[in-house]
Amino acid sequence: MTLHAHPAVSVVVPVYNEEAGLAALFARLYPALDALNEPYEILFVNDGSRDRSAALLAAQQRLRPDVTRVVLFNGNYGQHMAILAGFEHTRAPIVVTLDADLQNPPEEIGKLVAKMREGYDYVGTIRRMRQDSRFRRYASRAMNWTREKITSVRMTDQGCMLRAYGRDVVDTVNRCTESNTFVPALAYTFALKPTEIEVAHEERQAGESKYSLFKLIRLNFDLVTGFSLVPLQLMSYSGILLALASGALFLYLMVQRFVEGSQVQGVFTLFAITFFLLGVVLFSIGLLGEYIGRIYEQVRGRPRYLVQAVLQDLPPEPGVFVPHIAQATNAAQQTPAPLP
């Protein structure tokens, strides 16, 4: 059985060390898409998992070759690189992204597809009654507020990856060659008619979040520096203000010295001011380093990711005879060896 030649919906699912929850994902995702009553395809992108995720995905592709494709990375490149790889292999006019941890129920995909059919080319989502820790919720709100003030991207809930994209938006994203990016924000900049809807949110099915505090900070640095020059401009304005304040303080101390004579009462205040200025300088150097680092990674021109194999049973082109033996050979070459 081969893939449908013209799917109406493509679902991209990045997978990284999700062995414990994949069975539950399969049990809910396929029935949810079958309920759409239209042709679809699912693209699982294995992001260098170190557990048995790749083997489970390969087995699922053999079980449902009519709707399943699997992209295997040769290493771990991150969630957004996995989504970009999935985008490059999608064929449907509507593309939906979904995390593999089942915190976003697959049953909500129908809502996004219905909203896209109303004429929108990008449908974002807002998690209703988030099942995350209080710290994660407050941190997310703070970063949403900061990102909205600094960039032109207007997303109520940037952390929810259950989103739908139109074909034109996906094709435009595929033409971008950024080495570091945030896919929902990148797609938002190209969308002509975006919208948002509320979706349900559940507790993680199994395992733990792959985003540590450091990775969350790193992700938000990529988001801010990748979509705005405001941080650099703020540092420039801060430097001008501090220079003016320093000049005013110098004049004040000079006048005080001539009027009241030499005194040492303000030494600790001067130390505090000096340390504050050093902190501002170091922070500015670090911020500048973020932008320079992005430029450095971009000009190296290295591939953003490497695909080890793509497991799929593509339909033969019209008028082209494909021997059954050749199809079996190709499938055997693409299937990875079982993991220990």
Pairing of strands 9-15, 94-97: parallel
Starting at the edge strand that comes first in sequence, how are the strands of the sheet with 307-311 ordered? Answer: 194-200, 122-128, 163-166, 94-97, 9-15, 40-46, 68-73, 307-311
Residue 324 confidence (pLDDT): 36
**Banded pLDDT at 338 (limits 50, 70, 90):** very low
Q: Both tokens of residue 287?
A: 């911020």
pLDDT digits (tens, 9 = 90+) for 47-59: 999 999 999 999 9
- Averaged confidence pLDDT in the chain: 80
pTM for this entry: 0.73
> What is the tally of helices (H) and strands (E) in the chain?
11, 8
pLDDT value of position 47: 94
Q: Residue 332 phi/psi, 5° resolution?
A: -65, -35
